[in-house]
């Protein structure tokens, strides 16, 4: 019984790590695509602050 519970937990942890790793791997390779948007928002916010 406890073995079954452990397997479930391990599966869940593996799944969690897979999702996080997938996101980091993909996110880091496309970050440059999203950078201009951040720059724009940054400039916008700076403008508003002034």
> Which residues of this chain interact with other proteins, rule CB under 8 A?
8-9, 12-13, 15-16, 18-20, 22-27, 29-30, 33-34, 36-38, 40-41, 44
Rounded to the nearest angstrom, the gap between the alpha carbon of residue 32 and the centroid of all alpha carbons in its chain is 15
Backbone angles phi, psi at 5, to 5 degrees: -65, -45
CB of residue 38 to other proteins, shortest distance in Å: 7
From the CB of 11, what's the least distance to other proteins, in Å? Answer: 8
Q: What does the alpha-carbon distance between residue 7 and residue 1 come to, in Å, rounded to a whole number?
A: 10
Looking at the Cβ atoms of 6 and 16, the one nearer to other proteins is: 16
């Amino acid at each position: 019984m406890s073995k079954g519970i452990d397997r479930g937990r391990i599966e869940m942890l593996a799944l969690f790590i897979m999702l996080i790793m997938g996101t980091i791997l993909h996110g880091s390779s496309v970050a440059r695509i999203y950078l201009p948007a951040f720059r724009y928002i940054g400039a916008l916010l700076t403008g508003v602050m002034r």
